[in-house]
């Protein structure tokens, strides 16, 4: 799809919004304590919290050790296990403005993927 590591990590940062519902995705729980606020909290939690595999009758997902109320998918955990992705997780955890800018640029690219522009609208 033509996304680089920075854009991939930025797009996954959309997990700062919303939650998973078992009846829709088979996963359950919010990614952050403020699921209606777009922020870099997803990245801060990914780095600052300790994550363990959830013991439940569902697909593999992770929960925070402290409250057992937050969710991470395997695709989220890989962001801190892969050294190239982790660079951007750290950057976004420390700089919410940079995350917002990079997310906007990557999301625009995603929305325009496959769209041919003729130069006029």
Among 68, 71, 65, residue whose Cα is nearest residue 22 = 71
| Helix pair angle (83-94, 41-48), 10° resolution | 120
Q: Which residue has the tokens 């939690």?
A: 45
CATH class label, 5-111: mainly alpha
pLDDT tens by residue, 12-58: 999 999 999 999 999 999 999 999 999 999 999 999 999 999 998 88
What are the residue ranges of helices labelled H in 26-82? Answer: 41-48, 74-81
- Residue 73 tokens read as 């998918």
What pTM, to 2 d.p., does this model score?
Answer: 0.89
Listed by start position, the domains of the chain span: 5-111
């Amino acid at each position: 799809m033509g996304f680089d590591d920075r854009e991939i990590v930025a797009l996954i940062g959309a997990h700062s919004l919303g939650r998973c519902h078992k009846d829709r995705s088979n996963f359950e729980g919010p990614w952050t304590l403020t699921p209606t606020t777009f922020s870099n909290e997803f990245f801060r939690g990914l780095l600052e919290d300790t994550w363990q595999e959830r013991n439940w009758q569902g697909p593999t997902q992770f929960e925070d050790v402290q409250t057992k109320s937050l969710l991470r998918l395997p695709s989220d955990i890989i962001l801190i296990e892969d050294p190239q992705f982790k660079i951007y997780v750290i950057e976004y955890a420390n700089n919410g403005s940079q995350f917002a800018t990079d997310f906007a640029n990557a999301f625009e690219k995603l929305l325009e993927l496959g769209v041919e522009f003729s130069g006029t609208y």
